[in-house]
Amino acid sequence: MAYAPPVLANEVLPRRAVISAALVIGFALLTAAAAQIRIPLGFTPVPITGQTFAVLLSGAVIGSRRGAASQFAYVLMGAAGLPFYAGGESGRSVVTGATGGYLLGFVAAAWLVGRLAEARQDRKVSTAIGVFLTGNFVIYAFGIGGLMIATEMTLEGAVANGMAPFIIGDTLKVLLAAGLLPAAWRLTGKLDDRAVPGTDLS
């Protein structure tokens, strides 16, 4: 049997290829749905959305490879014309536009959060907060870089427009995710926060 990373989905669902495919598509669609929770801000091209919460959960629940695959699928489906981006937008112009860096950051963040979850860092609130803050920082890093490229903003301007307005809301999402994952593990009855051999990322 192929190695199955010790993430939540593998403890509660059968380990089948069709299940993995369904999880990848399911989290891509969850991210698309969360993207429709959109609050535009007049002073920045970056809106407040629910996407980051879905991104963080994707990595933690289904692991690094499938989490990254789900976000890559989300980006591809939106680029192909499906109205999956924030506010129902779509097309390659979004990927190369002011918010495109965040979309690419979703893939990287889901992978990293998944890797940390595979090392059982998602099983206590204290460590889960660090996991999700790290994932959020990755999204910010990609988003700020994308803003600088697409709009020729300075680093200071990109931070002011692409990070500072979202810190409070994203912190609430992090705390919510950090509370949900350990609680879900407790419900499975398989809570074990010992690190997995060979997955220490320190």
pLDDT category of residue 191 using cuts at 50, 70 and 90: low
- DSSP assignment of the chain equals -----S-HHHHHS---HHHHHHHHHHHHHHHHHHHT-EE--TT-SPPEESHHHHHHHHHHHH-HHHHHHHHHHHHHHHHTT-S-SGGG--SHHHHTSTTHHHHHHHHHHHHHHHHHHHTTTTSSHHHHHHHHHHHHHHHHHHHHHHHHHHH---HHHHHHHHTGGGHHHHHHHHHHHHHHHHHHHHHHT----SPPTT----
Question: What is the residue whose two structure tokens read 């789900």?
Answer: 70
- Give the chain's end-to-end CA distance (angstroms, integer): 28
Q: How far apart are CA 169 and CA 178, in angstroms?
A: 14
Q: How far apart are CA 132 and CA 4, in angstroms?
A: 22
Q: State mean pLDDT over 151-156.
A: 95
Residue 1 has pLDDT above 50, yes or no: no
- CATH code: domain 8-188 is 1.10.1760.20
pLDDT-above-70 percentage for the chain: 92
* Report field, pTM of the whole predicted structure over 0.85: yes
CB contact at 8 A, 142 and 136: no
Q: State mean pLDDT over 113-141.
A: 96
Angle at 108 between CA 107 and CA 114, to 5 degrees: 90
pLDDT value, residue 43: 87
pLDDT category of residue 31 using cuts at 50, 70 and 90: very high
pLDDT value, residue 81: 96
Residue 38 has pLDDT above 50, yes or no: yes
Rounded to 5 degrees, φ, ψ at 96 are -95, 0
The residue extents of the domains of the chain are 8-188
The mean pLDDT of the chain is 91
pLDDT value, residue 197: 54
Give the tens place of pLDDT for each residue, 57-86.
999 999 999 999 999 999 999 999 999 999
